[in-house]
Amino acid sequence: MKATAEIDPKLVKQLREKTNAGFMDCKRALVESGGDLEKAETILRTKGIATAAKKATRATKEGIVASYIHLQGKVGVLVEVNCETDFVARNENFREFVKDITLHIAAAHPLYVSRADVPGNLIEAEREIYKVQVKDKPAHVADKIIEGKLEKFYSTVCLLEQGFIKNPDVTIGDLLNAKIAELGENIVIRRFVRYLVGELLPSEG
């Protein structure tokens, strides 16, 4: 994934208004397109992000809970993925997608679904660590390094921002958006839990 660069916030706002896509998705598309608004819109549509954003407000009350056991019973995953209709919930394509998500969680060990789920105190703790690491840098340089490290942190702990184990060039978020565009329904990875024999859950630590 290409690193984000300096992009005019007005361009990001325009692209968001045209596509309903999220701020970071719009910024990345503009970086990839070299600031070309039309190309950025095409990039979002190609990835299914614009389609996914338009469907994001639609209720997802159907879906499935899937499980996966790995390494002779040493690792287990439970995940709930929601969709709009029972028809899609029973669709083999949808179920294959959910299976891929369970496999990925088992292998990649994300801690949260998205960055919105990361506790604020954890983000601040990470930020303080990074501040110490760049304390000798000029302020404007330090701020950019800190933000870059936070982006890396999110890509490590957030499921939607991790590179898919079967194709690391594609994030789970990209995979989800493509599936939304393909099946024509809003799809939400609602929650998951990953068990490792002998490992404490966060609530037990």
Domains (range + CATH), the chain: 9-55 (1.10.8.10), 62-115+158-204 (3.30.479.20), 119-156 (no CATH)
CA gap 111, 96 in Å, rounded: 22
pLDDT at 160: 95
Of 56-65, 119-128, 148-157, 173-182, give the lowest mean pLDDT range.
56-65
| Residue range 131-156, pLDDT digits in tens | 999 888 888 888 889 989 999 999 99
Question: Position 82: which residue type?
Answer: N
3-state secondary structure of 4: coil
| Residue range 105-116, pLDDT digits in tens | 999 999 999 999
* pTM for this model (two decimals): 0.73
Question: Position 98: which residue type?
Answer: V
53 within 8 A of 176, measured Cβ to Cβ: no
| Residue range 48-67, pLDDT digits in tens | 676 666 666 677 889 999 99
What does pLDDT average to over the chain? 87
pLDDT at 1: 37
Whether 84 has a pLDDT exceeding 90, the answer reads yes
pLDDT at 205: 52
